[in-house]
Chains A and B, each alone.
Chain A
Amino acid sequence: MALLRPARLRPSDLLRLGGYGLRSRPLRAVLSALGIAIGIAAMVAVVGISSSSQADLDRKLAALGTNMLRVSPGHTMMGDDATLPDDALSMIKRVGPVIAATATGSVTDTSVYRSDRIPEQETGGLSVLAAQLDLLDTVGATMADGTWLNAATAEYPAVVLGSGAARRLGDVPTVYIDGRWYSVIGVLDSVPLAPELDTAVLIGWDAARSYLGFDGHFTTVYTRAVESQIEAVKAVLGRTANPQSPEEVDVSRPSDVLIAKRTANASFTALLLGLGGVALLVGGIGVANTMVISVLERRSEIGLRRSLGATRGQIRTQFVSEALLLSLLGGAGGVLGGFAVTAVYAGTQDWPAVVPPWAIAGGLGATLAIGAVAGLYPAIRAARLAPTEALAAA
Chain B
Amino acid sequence: MSPVIELAEVTKSYPGGVHALRSVDLSVEPGELIAIVGPSGSGKSTMLNVIGTLDRPTTGTVRIDGHDVARLSDRQLSALRASRIGFVFQSFHLAPGRDAVANVADGLLYAGLPKRERERRARAALVRVGLGDRLGHRPHQLSGGERQRVAVARAVAGDPTVLLADEPTGNLDTASGQGVMDLLRELNAAGTTVLVITHDHDIAGTLPRQVPMRDGQVV
Contact = CB atoms under 8 A, between A and B. Distances in A.
**B partners with A:** yes
Nearest to A392: B45
A300 B93 contact: yes
Interface stretch (A119-127, A303-311, A327-335): A303-311
Contacts of B16: none
A12 B66 CA distance: 34
Nearest to A314: B110
Interface stretch (A2-10, A175-183, A289-297, A363-371): A2-10
B75 A6 contact: yes
Interface stretch (B30-38, B83-91, B177-185, B199-207): B83-91
Interface stretch (B49-57, B128-136, B137-145): B49-57
Nearest to A12: B115
A229 interface: no
Contacts of A5: 75-76, 79
A394 interface: yes
A6 B110 contact: yes
B82 A387 contact: no
Contacts, number: 97
Interface in A1-55: 1, 4-10, 12-13, 16-17, 20, 24
- What's the interface size class on B, roughly? 20 to 34
A312 interface: yes
A311 B91 CA distance: 22
A301 interface: yes
B74 A311 contact: yes
Interface string B84-112: 00010101010111100000001101111
B121 interface: no
Contacts of B93: 300-301, 303-304, 391, 394
A235 B75 CA distance: 75
Nearest to A394: B91
B66 A1 contact: yes
Interface in A342-394: 386-388, 391, 394
Interface of A: 1, 4-10, 12-13, 16-17, 20, 24, 300-301, 303-314, 386-388, 391, 394
